[in-house]
Amino acid sequence: MDIFEWEIESEKHWDSRAAFWHSRSRGMWETGSRKDIVPFIKQFVPAGSLVCDLGCGDGTGSEKLSEAGYDVTGIDVSEEMLERARQNPRNVHCTFNKGNLSDCESPNNHFDAVMAINSIEWTNQPYESLKEIARILKPNGYVCIGILGPTAGPRTNSFRRLYGEEVICNTIMPWELERLALENGLRKAGEFGVFKKAADELPHGSLPAELQQALSFMWVFMFQVLK
């Protein structure tokens, strides 16, 4: 019986999805679900800061960070994704390295901020990824984490776990991530939700945060690492 190795399977998955992802990523960052993330980061992290795009994919998010005045290092498990990031002429000032969220091979206390969008739920152990983020951040550094909400279609990637199959998509919920972060030395500094059109038409702003999270397509947190 073959042994399921998360990192190897994750790299194979994202290598095979690189072309499809690349065809959609610019739309997500410029007009879609991710368009408000870099402006959100700018509220907390000054221009000129050293920022790690952890789980950078094809580097479109890294591009947007660089355009906002940040010194950017992108890290991803997929060599196919990284190659697309390096080929983007707008990423000439960015650095891209291969690594995973539990072992990105960056120095201790190195980055002013980390951006991890829809990547921590694609790890075997989100707790280990949070520890790695805290390790590479400078004292009082910020981490912006975007995580799929309960209404996000990509959550179907984890469905086969119900049959006892190994899957690479972890179904951590926004409120679970928040609790995990707060129990492990992070302070919540800000947050916002991204909603599908039908949910966006509801008066969700008047609902408690946990109910807003339950309606969300994606929830974006800003945590500060206290150390």
pLDDT in tens, 193-224: 999 988 878 787 778 888 999 999 999 999 99
Rounded to an integer, what is the distance from CA 194 to the centroid of its chain?
14
3-state secondary structure of 149: coil
Task: Report the percentage of the chain scoring pLDDT > 70.
Answer: 99
Picking from 6, 3, 20, the residue whose alpha carbon sits closest to that of residue 167 is 6
What's the whole-model pTM score? 0.94
Give the separation between CA 13 and CA 39, rounded to whole angstroms.
Answer: 30
Q: What is the average pLDDT across 43-68?
A: 98
Residues 6+ apart with CB under 8 A from 97: 73, 74, 75, 82, 104, 105, 106
Q: Are 72 and 94 within 8 A, CB to CB? A: yes
3-state secondary structure of 146: strand
Q: Are 222 and 191 within 8 A, CB to CB? A: yes
Name which of 79-93, 143-157, 190-204 the model is least confident about.
190-204
Helix (H) or strand (E) holding 41: helix 37-42
Q: Which residues sit opposite 103 in a β-bridge?
A: 100
Q: Which residues sit opposite 145 in a β-bridge?
A: 116, 221
Q: Are 136 and 113 within 8 A, CB to CB? A: no
For the chain, domains (ranges, CATH) are: 6-225 (3.40.50.150)
Q: pLDDT band for position 45 (50/70/90)?
A: very high
pLDDT (tens digit, 9 = 90+) per residue, 118-149? 999 999 899 999 999 999 999 999 999 999 99
Average pLDDT, the chain: 94
Q: Is the pLDDT of residue 185 over 80?
A: yes
Q: Is the pLDDT of residue 101 over 70?
A: yes
| Straight-line distance from the first to the last Cα atom of the chain, in angstroms, rounded to the nearest whole number | 44
Q: What is the average pLDDT across 149-171?
A: 91
Q: Is the pLDDT of residue 2 over 60?
A: yes
pLDDT at 134: 96
Instruction: State both tokens at 172.
Output: 């951590």
Q: Is the pLDDT of residue 159 over 60?
A: yes
Instruction: State both tokens at 76.
Output: 């991803």
